Amino acid sequence: MNRLVECVPNVSEGRDQAVLSTLAKSIQLVPRVALLDLHVDPDHHRSVFTLAGEPEAMANALFRFIRDAQHGIDLRTHQGQHPRIGVVDVVPWIPLRGVTMEECAGYSKDLGRRVGQELGIPVFLYEQASVVPLRARLEVIRRGGLSGIQERMNQEAGWKPDFGPIVLHPTAGTVVIGARFFLIAFNVVLKSQDIQVARRIARTIRSSGGGLPALKAMGVLLPSRGLVQVSMNLTDFRQTSLRAAFQAVERESHRLGASIVESEIVGLVPQAAWDADLPRDLKLQNCGADHILETRMAQEELFSQ
């Protein structure tokens, strides 16, 4: 397989195993695509699927995935800690082998057009696929949640969706599709019940607050555990590593009188972002070599053909 992409659709469902099983099967039934990892978070009420495969097959798998999520999830009844604007909230394409970022942007647009036309879900393009610079960043599109994006669609000319209707789908909301570099989702759990502690740390360490480069962060409650979490996205691990992000949280948490319970990686990480000491140094739970993208791909018969 000389042409490979990775896709990491995020779904606004983290509690109904039947729905998640249906979505996993919709991927597994498509030849030339493999489901490498599924991370389920009941507190966030969100799941992250990591897929790899040939681009054309991936496009088919993702359309089936979005269609099945539209049928199985109702955003009107969704209550979770993670921001979201759609049952399938975001669908990033990442080039792996023999495919350029520009081509991934093209695949994003083709998929978005089909989703808008056939499923009636408004689609916004982001990152390298964005055609409206204002909307390149995911957090800008998500600002204000469902009501915020619908208000902008109603009142601002620059917020007409790239594809699909100019109104949110009643149960599926919208979907953001695009192309980007590898992103590492990394969460650090604090021994605290005070959400303001997590939020203060997040504000201090993230790029927008003058902290570390290529780092997004927010404070999140974990009701099932009675704890709080600093939830981070490392948008370029070459600029800010997992270890640097952890150390920043550790430094700020100590300053505020909190300690770190553990950390977790959501999904898979590239080999270049990993070293053997990370599980110990970062207090990572249930995380080892099988969380490396290249290792998981090597375990799949599909990629040895």
Residue 286 token pair: 């249930």
Q: Which of 82, 169, 254, 291 is catalytic?
A: 82
Phi, psi of 131 (to 5 degrees): -110, -5
Q: Does 44 qualify as catalytic in the annotation?
A: no
Residue 36 token pair: 């490498």
* Alpha helix positions (H), the chain: 17-28, 55-72, 101-114, 138-142, 145-155, 195-205, 242-255, 278-281, 293-299
Residues 6+ apart with CB under 8 A from 257: none
Beta bridge mates, 179: 93, 127
Work out the angle between the directed axes of helices 55-72 and 101-114 (0-180°, nearest 10): 40
Residues 6+ apart with CB under 8 A from 132: 125, 158, 162
Q: What is the DSSP track for 14-63? A: SS-HHHHHHHHHHHHTSTTEEEEEEEEETTTTEEEEEEEE-HHHHHHHHH
The C-alpha angle 58, 26, 129, rounded to 5 degrees, equals: 35
Instruction: Compute CA 66 distance to the chain's CA centroid, rounded to the nearest angstrom.
Output: 15
The rounded distance, in Å, linking the Cα atoms of 82 and 36 is: 23
Catalytic residue annotation = 82
